[in-house]
Amino acid sequence: MVYTNDHEDINQLLFEFTELIDYTLSNEFVTRWKGKYSIRFIKLFQTRLLKSMSDRRPLKITTLYTFLTKKCDYSKDQVLNFFNSIDISIYTPLISGSKRDL
């Protein structure tokens, strides 16, 4: 997490994070990753992000991982590869935790 006292820096960080979320929920994101991951897989990820925002609660990376591997029956390797591909750490604070927690 980046902490700053500069009001302009905070505004810039908020703008960039909002742009990231907007892109992640877009069809462009689906198009970017559908060659490597199924559209259903990507849509499940997007839906979980939306649910987290709707609930106004951060999504734990462990919860997301368990959802995708156990409930949706995707392989652990596929989920970890996806997390690496999209650099899941840039979604902090919306997605809390670390890949080390998995």
Residue found under tokens 């106004």: 56
pLDDT value, residue 7: 65
| Global pTM value | 0.87
At residue 19, the 3 state secondary structure works out as helix
Residue 2 reports pLDDT greater than 60: no
pLDDT tens, position by position, 5-31: 566 688 888 899 999 999 999 999 999
pLDDT tens, position by position, 53-91: 999 999 999 999 999 999 999 999 999 999 999 999 999
Q: Is the peptide bond before 93 cis (omega within 30 degrees of 0)?
A: yes
| Nearest residue to 63 via CA among 24, 95, 39, 37 | 95
pLDDT value, residue 69: 97
